Amino acid sequence: MTLLHIPTLLLVSVFIFCLMGLLSLHAWLRETRERCLAYLGSMMLLASLGLLLGSLRGMGIDFVPIVLGNVILLLSAAMNWTAMRVFAGRPPSVPGILAGAATWLALCLVPTFLASFPLRVSAYSALAASYGGLTLLEFWRSRHRLEASYLPALTLTALQTLFYCVRIFADTGMGPARAFAGNGEGLPFFSFLLFESMVYMVGIGYVTLAMVKERAERQLKAAAYSDPLTNIGNRRSFMLKSETLLADCERRGTSAALLLCDLDHFKRLNDTFGHAVGDQALIAFSRMTTQILRPADVFGRIGGEEFACVLGDSNEARAVEVAERIRAGFSGLALLEPGFLSVSIGLVSTGESGYELSRLLSVADEALYGAKGKGRDRVEVAQAR
């Protein structure tokens, strides 16, 4: 006697696989940029069809369940791998998708293999485990850029792969007739196979949707704090990060400095050469300044042609050195003829004006105004008050 009625369990499995597949495809249609959901849904629908065809053994049409059914199930495993591969930012591999099914078809051409149920179980399990291993490899090689918590998906896949590795040696094979009759020594393993497949299908569907949602939220948050033209921090990002950096410097008793940069004659640049060239000047300034600053420094575009930097652990002398490098580097860019590109910079340090960001910006703005009044293309240090 068994606690799990095999025909019922099989029917429930087919229903769950089909439902999960349709829901995944529906989620993809609502957000077509996430192609991994399309592959995930295809995986589940193929699994449903393959399982349904596999249940037809013993009805005189063994080619359908043994050959076609397992080909579809292996394509399902390949789609699972492809879904995670696409989520990781890599293109689908058509040869990889077809390799498992092609190997199965080639093996079925051997009469000895086709006639041996244990051999077929071992071969299928090895091919399924291979796709699981490839999926784990995709997670591992992309772990630093997935932008989502991938450990639940990795754990589920690892357990699924381990199960198929164990099945290669542990499953003696059980025909459908004995399974449906509810007797035979392989019945517990067969029941567990169906149950494990359902758990994996529901689990991988849920965690994949969670990963897609988490990544989308992170990207939206990054967009809210990023300047779309220059890809550096916007005003909101600059204010938040600068306040944090200044508070940390104050707590540790180290000095910091703020540079307020304004591209000279920017309206004239746009009027003379067009807005496309003006945009290129903004991008070029952002890239050049980013290369000069340290990773821990804060840099952002806080206005049209106005940028600001906060240099942590920097005294006035070092800040002047950095500002001069920025000024000279921008005027020396080969974007336009010499004389068309220049930047004025107002500089203030915490030693003279304290650690409050709003005050530093106000004092730096006065210094910047002084730099503009003295002919532009210069660094002006705020006077102590």
Instruction: Give, to the nearest 10 degrees, the angle between helix 35-54 and helix 187-224.
Output: 170
Mark whether 242 and 95 lie in a shared domain: no
Mark whether 218 and 276 lie in a shared domain: no
Which residue from 170, 190, 271 is spatially nearest to 10, judged by alpha carbons?
190
Q: Is residue 25 part of a domain?
A: yes
pLDDT(58) > 70: no
Distance CA 361, CA 19 (A): 57
Q: Is residue 37 part of a domain?
A: yes
Mark whether 219 and 240 lie in a shared domain: no
Residue range(s) defining the domain that contains residue 19: 6-223
Mark whether 138 and 263 lie in a shared domain: no
The model's confidence at residue 351, banded by pLDDT at 50, 70 and 90, is confident
Look at residues 197, 223, 249 and tell me which one is the last residue of a structural domain.
223
Q: Is residue 230 part of a domain?
A: no
Residues 6+ apart with CB under 8 A from 383: 352
Predicted local distance difference test score (pLDDT) of residue 336: 77
Mark whether 143 and 213 lie in a shared domain: yes
Mark whether 268 and 185 lie in a shared domain: no
Mark whether 26 and 135 lie in a shared domain: yes
Mark whether 177 and 92 lie in a shared domain: yes
We report the CATH number of the domain holding residue 246 as 3.30.70.270
Q: Is residue 229 part of a domain?
A: no
Predicted local distance difference test score (pLDDT) of residue 357: 95
Distance CA 155, CA 159 (A): 6
Mark whether 184 and 265 lie in a shared domain: no
Question: What are the pLDDT digits (tens) for 151-197?
Answer: 999 999 999 999 999 988 887 655 555 555 555 555 566 777 888 88
Mark whether 107 and 179 lie in a shared domain: yes
The model's confidence at residue 67, banded by pLDDT at 50, 70 and 90, is very high
Domain count, the chain: 2
Average pLDDT of the residues in 304-317: 94
Average model confidence (pLDDT) across the chain: 89
Q: Is residue 228 part of a domain?
A: no
Look at residues 191, 223, 255 and tell me which one is the last residue of a structural domain.
223
Mark whether 26 and 56 lie in a shared domain: yes
Contact call for residues 189 and 3 (beta carbons, < 8 A):
no
Instruction: Please name every residue paired with 304 in a beta bridge, in sequence order, or none if there are none.
Output: none
Mark whether 159 and 243 lie in a shared domain: no
Look at residues 162, 194, 223 and tell me which one is the last residue of a structural domain.
223
Predicted local distance difference test score (pLDDT) of residue 2: 45
Q: Is residue 1 part of a domain?
A: no
